[in-house]
Amino acid sequence: MEVAVPLLCLAATVLVWGVLWVWGSWERVTRPEQAGLPGGGSRTLLVTAHPDDEAMFFAPTILGLTRLRHQVFLLCFSAGNYYNQGEIRKKELLQSCDVLGIPPSNIMIIENRDFPDDPDVRWDPERAADVLLQHVEANGITLVVTFDEGGVSGHSNHVALNAAVRTLHAEGKLPKGCLVLTLQSVNLLRKYLYLLDLPCSLLLARDALFVLTQREAAQAQRAMSCHHSQLLWFRRLYVLFSRYMRINSLNFL
């Protein structure tokens, strides 16, 4: 009994500390001005490689930035024509964006032989950087969001977009004041923990963290379900278990 009381006290202290810590972190990330993100009215360009990337990986970011009243644009570098389904996939992308609140006038899909939907083709980062810069300048973009060097799934087309944006950043070619956020890739275990990854995300979040509410999570799932041609059994499992359907951690370059 003499041993149990101090142990219980210790356990209670750790528990209270843990709850307060998670609460403090939660308060921090849900504040609109979190982590130096640009404020309302910012023109934000999400740069993806394939139709469905926006729903599979970036839905928390899109809905989180919309909550912050950003004007979100999407630049998708391919029509996703790997299985000759490009036309279908372009329509699915428009439907998905409609669910996520991105109007058709803010969506740009590149169909260029330099950027085929193919994991075995390495896109030229300099060429991708040129195209990206044109869209940043033409649309007065102040925040660019794309994959990190891990590309979340490791797909070479995702990784190429990170290389492109890094090139622009390193060479100082982005317009003055234009920031870049990259989506943090996590290990396989964390990737499929869904909302259970939240404590880990709160602990490791550096610059920006977006966590969807239950209602927004249903919206993200509806967006993903627009991609009928992609909903094979393993992607249905992905929708159920992937943290990227609920949580996005991003870091500034």
Query: Can you give 153-196 as a three-state secondary structure string?
Result: CCCHHHHHHHHHHHHHHHCCCCCCCCEEEEECCCCHHHHCCHHH
- Cβ distance to Zn ion smaller for residue 50 or 246: 50
Angle between helices 59-67 and 214-225 (to 10 degrees): 130
208 within 8 A of 181, measured Cβ to Cβ: yes
Residue type, 234: F
Residues within window 189-218 making contact with Zn ion, judged by CB under 5 A: none
**Residue whose CB is less far from Zn ion, 37 or 161:** 161
- 148 is a site residue for Zn ion (CB under 5 A): no
- Should residue 53 be labelled a site residue for Zn ion when binding is judged by CB under 5 A? yes
Q: How far is the CB of 155 from Zn ion (least distance, A)?
A: 5
Q: Which is nearer to Zn ion, 53 or 197 (CB)?
A: 53
Measuring CA to CA, which residue among 126, 139, 172, 145 is closest to residue 43?
139
Q: How far is the CB of 10 from Zn ion (least distance, A)?
A: 47
Q: Which one, 37 or 181, has the nearer CB to Zn ion?
A: 181
**Binding segment (CB under 5 A) for Zn ion, from list 23-31, 50-58, 114-122, 235-243:** 50-58
Q: How many CB atoms lie within 10 A of CB 103?
A: 13
| Interatomic CA distance for residues 48 and 162, integer angstroms | 10
Task: Tell which one of 37, 50, 97, 159 touches Zn ion (CB under 5 A).
Answer: 50
37, 46, 49, 183: which one binds Zn ion (CB under 5 A): 49
Give the x-and-dash track for 9-48 against Zn ion (CB under 5 A). Answer: ----------------------------------------
Residue 27 CB, shortest distance to Zn ion, in Å, is 33
- Closer of 37 and 93 to Zn ion (Cβ): 93
Collapsing DSSP to helix, strand or coil, 212 comes out as: coil
Strands 179-183 and 143-147, how do they pair? parallel
Where do contacts with Zn ion occur on this chain (CB under 5 A)?
Answer: 49-50, 53
